């Protein structure tokens, strides 16, 4: 019995020592592992915070850039629209001034509207009986209307064409034809050149019928003799179209459409770049 008591005592002491040491070592290990985990987690949190801050900064820079692009584009559009509106107003004024600048030509048209110009052109041809008297009569009308002194102010009117509506330009062109056609006929009578040098009036009449469809039958019935009586209807049509342009409905709609397109493009760009910087 004396032999195993010390053995039991030694084993108990050893077990106690192992228990105490194991408990301490286990706590130390767990504490070390926990510390390393805490350190790693803190590093990850710090990295996430840095990444988040970088993304926020990138988004801020992107938003500022897109905002600058949008505001700059809209400001440029507004400036361009204002300049274009100013130029359109100038073109409208110039076009109407040119249409109103046919005083002597209108007078000649009124003086010849009761005459059969086609027959007079044929009768005034040289070497025909009584042609001299007809030519003198035409010269009298020419001098009375002071056509030799007439100088148009619309030499450069074609430069206004891009800034007026296509319909306004078509009406102006038809008006110029209607005003000048009787003067051309009067010049042919006055000089006795005959009808051979004159252009076929049908294309000119067709262009006027396209602008004044309500006068188609009248033009078909009268032919080129209808020209002087079409001047005022063409002026009214031109004035109506120019007033419509002055209201600016079409240009305003175009400006709004362009502005909407700019905003849509900016929004699309914003969405696309937001996706690009999303972590």
pLDDT for position 266: 46
Assess contact for 177 and 208: CB atoms under 8 A.
yes
Higher pLDDT, 33 or 188: 188
Spatial separation of the C-alpha atoms in residues 108 and 190, rounded to whole Å = 13
CA of residue 71 relative to chain centroid, distance: 19
Q: Which residue has the tokens 């004159």?
A: 198
Locate the domains of the chain by residue range: 1-87+252-279, 100-247
Higher pLDDT, 237 or 263: 237
Mind spelling out the 3-state secondary structure of the chain?
A: CCCHHHHHHHHHHHHHHHHHHHHHHHHHHHHHHHHHHHHHHHHHHHHHHHHHHHHHHHHHHHHHHHHHHHHHHHHHHHHHHHHHHHHHHHHHHHHHHHHCCCHHHHHHHHHHCCCCHHHHHHHCCCCCCCHHHHHHHHHHHHHHCCCCCCCCCCCCHHHHHHHCCHHHHHHHHHHHHHHHHHHHHHHHHHHCCCHHHCCCCHHHHHHHHHHCHHHHHHHHHHHHHHHHHHHHHHHHHHHHHHHHHHHCHHHHHHHHHHHHHHHHHHHHHHHHHHHHHCC
pLDDT for position 9: 55
Task: Name the percent of the chain lying above pLDDT 70.
Answer: 65
- pLDDT winner (highest mean) among 14-28, 43-57, 237-251: 237-251
pLDDT for position 173: 86
Mean pLDDT (the chain, rounded): 75
Spatial separation of the C-alpha atoms in residues 23 and 53, rounded to whole Å = 44
Angle at 148 between CA 147 and CA 154, to 5 degrees: 70
Residues in CB range of 244: below 8 A, 6 or more apart = 165
């Amino acid at each position: 019995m004396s032999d195993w008591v010390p053995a039991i005592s030694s084993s108990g002491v050893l077990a106690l020592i192992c228990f105490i040491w194991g408990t301490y070592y286990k706590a130390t290990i767990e504490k070390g592992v926990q510390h390393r985990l805490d350190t790693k987690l803190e590093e990850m949190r710090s990295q996430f915070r840095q990444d988040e801050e970088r993304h926020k900064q990138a988004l801020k820079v992107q938003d500022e850039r897109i905002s600058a692009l949008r505001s700059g584009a809209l400001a440029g559009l507004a400036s361009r629209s204002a300049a274009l509106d100013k130029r359109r107003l100038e073109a409208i004024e110039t076009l109407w001034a040119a249409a109103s600048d046919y005083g002597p030509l209108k007078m000649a048209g009124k003086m010849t509207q009761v005459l059969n110009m086609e027959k007079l052109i044929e009768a005034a041809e040289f070497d025909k009986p009584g042609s001299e008297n007809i030519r003198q009569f035409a010269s009298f009308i020419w001098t009375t209307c002071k056509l030799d002194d007439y100088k148009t102010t619309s030499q450069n009117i074609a430069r206004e064409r891009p800034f007026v509506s296509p319909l306004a330009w078509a009406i102006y062109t038809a008006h110029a034809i209607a005003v000048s056609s009787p003067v051309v006929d009067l010049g042919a009578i006055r000089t006795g050149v005959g009808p051979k040098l004159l252009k076929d009036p049908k294309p000119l009449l067709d262009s006027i019928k396209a602008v004044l469809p309500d006068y188609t039958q009248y033009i078909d019935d009268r032919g080129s003799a209808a020209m002087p009586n079409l001047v005022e209807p063409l002026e009214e049509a031109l004035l109506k179209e120019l007033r419509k342009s002055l209201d600016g409905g079409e240009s305003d709609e175009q400006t709004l459409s362009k502005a909407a397109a700019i905003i849509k493009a900016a929004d699309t760009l914003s969405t696309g770049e937001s996706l690009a910087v999303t972590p």
